[in-house]
Structure 1
């Protein structure tokens, strides 16, 4: 025996279905709209205006970016590593924060890349002659190295993590590196200093390390 439904009930079912579909679509669209692109995440690490100026400086095509982790997620991974570390541990995993590829007219691409890791170098070792030749001391907690060949610049900063081993701040500093296609100091310096300050803030480093805007000569 077939059961029939009043027209009003059927109309209600249809309206509910339409409302739910509309809400679902709106929710998905809203989520997509609020999800930052990789280029925007690179801006969170390096400063959006700094990224724009660096991209403009190479005069290439439209920039393509890769950034798998936001600053807070990357800081969480670094924090976990620091807490697991013990004196004598030499396993240091580099994290790629951001990579920007800018097509070149001649083919290939200009590449800007930022990565971070807990360094194998200790803060005290920076005062040894073999390191003092290449690493310049900016202040008591920050050191900078510019490699003479490829356009790579690295920054070392003492960053203590609450809950880590007592030796961690001095023996396991944070090392950030920027690689670029040969940017001028006026583009490279803000990328590096902003990258360092972003992670120092996200990690809430003990000792309150100060990363100045002026790092490179």
Structure 2
């Protein structure tokens, strides 16, 4: 498979995760140009991998793989590159840890099931979502929440929110999370 075919397949998968129009707007906002799209798994395949991890989870499990769902690389002036990346993992943070003053300063609860990390000084945004997987150990929903992130070269906050919110909703739907977590479109108020 040549590089252009891989990028085309990556574009399709990135669109499935983040919304095709959202991807197009994000690419255009950082100068457009010839973007290279990389996405190894589509939403269904990534959800199957993450389902299996959640089903195998135990309270003492501290190893959590991070998955790049979509990576968009664009050439930058001067030879560098702009990279927009959406990642997902089962978090090492727990829902209970969100009450710890150390985390309460940087994370805000949006509803009973969703927390957003407030501005970190980095061009990124993260969500923590309670997502119970059928067949997983009791307590997995709170002890092993879903963590999704979008890192970028400095998109406008509105664009970053749209990408992250769409990405989180896509994964929550594919994972068939118990309790149907409601991911707001507006993450920062």
- Bin of the TM-score, shorter chain as denominator length: over 0.9
Matched, 1:123 2:95: yes
Matched, 1:88 2:63: no
- Counterpart of 1:157 in structure 2 is 129
67, 75, 97: which one aligns with 1:103: 75
TM-score (norm 2): 0.93
The answer to whether the Cα contact below 8 Å between 2:30 and 2:155 also exists between their aligned partners in 1 is yes
* Deviation, structure 1 residue 97: 0.4
TM-score (norm 1): 0.82
Matched, 1:63 2:35: yes
- Counterpart of 2:155 in structure 1 is 183
Query: Unpaired runs of 5+ in structure 2?
Result: none
173, 181, 184: which one aligns with 1:209: 181
Q: Any idea what SS the aligned residue of 2:79 has?
A: coil
C-alpha distance after superposition, 1:31-68 (max 9, x if no partner): xx9xx610111010001000000000011421111100
- Bigger relative contact order (CA 8 A; separation at least 6): 2
Cα RMSD between the aligned structures?
1.3
Aligned residues: 183
Hey, what's the Cα distance between the residues in 1 that align with 2:144 and 2:181?
Answer: 14
Query: Unpaired runs of 5+ in structure 1?
Result: 1-32
Q: Any idea what SS the aligned residue of 2:82 has?
A: strand
* Deviation, structure 1 residue 102: 0.8
47, 51, 55: which one aligns with 2:23: 51
Hey, what's the Cα distance between the residues in 2 that align with 1:81 and 1:140?
Answer: 24
Hey, what's the Cα distance between the residues in 2 that align with 1:52 and 1:61?
Answer: 11
Deviates more, 1:94-103 or 1:104-113: 104-113
* Deviation, structure 1 residue 149: 2.4
* Deviation, structure 1 residue 105: 2.4
133, 136, 142: which one aligns with 2:114: 142
Which structure is higher in helix share? Answer: 1
- Counterpart of 2:10 in structure 1 is 38
- Counterpart of 1:168 in structure 2 is 140
Q: Any idea what SS the aligned residue of 2:187 has?
A: coil
Choose 1 or 2 for highest CA Rg. Answer: 1
C-alpha distance after superposition, 1:142-189 (max 9, x if no partner): 001144322121100000001000110110000001100000012111
Hey, what's the Cα distance between the residues in 1 that align with 2:64 and 2:117?
Answer: 19
